[in-house]
Amino acid sequence: MNPNQPHSLRLQPGADAPDFTLSDAAGRLVSLADYRGRSVIVYFYPKAATPGCTTEACDFRDNLASLQRQGYDVLGISPDAPGTLAEFSDDFTLTYPLLADEDHAVAMAYGAWGEKLLGGQVVEGVIRSTVVVDPQGKVTLAQYHVDATGHVAALREELATPALPAR
């Protein structure tokens, strides 16, 4: 990895979640502020309709009702254009907003952009990441380099576990 390569800083619990406004698959603007008063899971994925991203997206779709019963909304963010997101959403009947971060500025702000290994090569791009934001807009959980398979089950388990009181 190149130490001179600019990369984004990872978010930590307790930090303010960076505000954003992005276009969804239908071209409507969606802001993090729209979710103030609710908890939201913001997950970043590299590319619509690729195997890992499809697995993760469908896993969030299949667990959405359970997550919503726990009080969480879900937003998926990738550098894909709205039209690509619309096809992806339609092809896999995704029932939560997918947002287009074409210039990857939001991924950078969330620490989800940087160098990663892909096929044995170091490339710059979206790092599969999940950030949970509380109703006041604070980060409660930030996970980076997550695996697409099994991630939602592990996340659900972690979210169901009450936090230990601070000592």
Cβ-based neighbours of 22, under 8 Å, separated by 6 or more: 29, 30, 77, 99, 100, 101, 106
What is d(CA 49, CA 53) in angstroms, rounded to the nearest whole number?
6
Instruction: Report strand pairing: 29-31 vs 21-24.
Output: antiparallel
Cite the active site residues. 53
